[in-house]
Amino acid sequence: MLAQAAADELTDETIIDRVRGGDVALYEILVRRHNQRLYRTIRAILRDDRDVEDVMQQAYVDAYTHLEQFRGTAKFSTWLTRIAVNRAIRSGRGARRGFELVPPAADHDLAIAHTPAPNLDPEHAMYGHELKVVLESLIEELPESFRVVFVMREVEGLSTAETAACLEINEETVKTRLHRAKRLLRERLDRQLGPASSSVYALHLTRCDSVVAGVMAEISKLSA
């Protein structure tokens, strides 16, 4: 396996050419490189992490098995995501295990663990985690078609065109679904924030104690 720096310099297309030429070990780079996108996309379709891992693995096997069909007219990531989406949809219909490999579409046919941000104190890290949990729960409530588009566009940062290609829908449909997803999230967030508004900028006990201690220390100096 190449060093990370050397691996990062290789394009997907270069790696694919070398894998086709027999350097199969390099396929690991593609798996690691695209794992985050595939996980988030499949997780937006399926609910069980075990199912998600199964589909991820099978999608990579599908892609490898049919690598000769990749022509480079679309990005490899798009082609791979299409395979994963199709796998996830089929898996969600009850074919999670024991299904046959089906050849993916050739690329010329192509038209969401929490890590706190660095330097955050424990209190802010906790808030960040809680916000993440709230957002994930709200996204989970979206209809599947809206949820997948939202995750691909807003979480993974795919373009409208690439999202459309991955999902085999037109760009206007992507825009419409994203707009509706955002509207639903805003409505649900507003409802959820209502009861929580009174706790915004709350002065927690540790900070309260710190302020009290500082004030009393200054008063003691003045009184001496």
Which 3-state string (H, E, C) describes the chain?
CCCHHHHHHCCHHHHHHHHHCCCHHHHHHHHHHHHHHHHHHHHCCCCCHHHHHHHHHHHHHHHHHCHHHCCCCCCHHHHHHHHHHHHHHHHHCCCCCCCCCCCCCCHHHCCCCCCCCCCCCHHHHHHHHHHHHHHHHHHHCCCHHHHHHHHHHHHCCCCHHHHHHHHCCCHHHHHHHHHHHHHHHHHHHHHHHHHHHHHCCCCCHHHHHHHHHHHHHHHHHHHC
Go through the domains of the chain in sequence order and give each one's CATH number.
4-109 (1.10.1740.10), 122-223 (1.10.10.10)
Per-residue pLDDT band for 33 (boundaries 50, 70, 90) equals very high
Q: What pLDDT does residue 78 have? A: 92
pLDDT beyond 50 at 87: yes
pLDDT of residue 93: 55
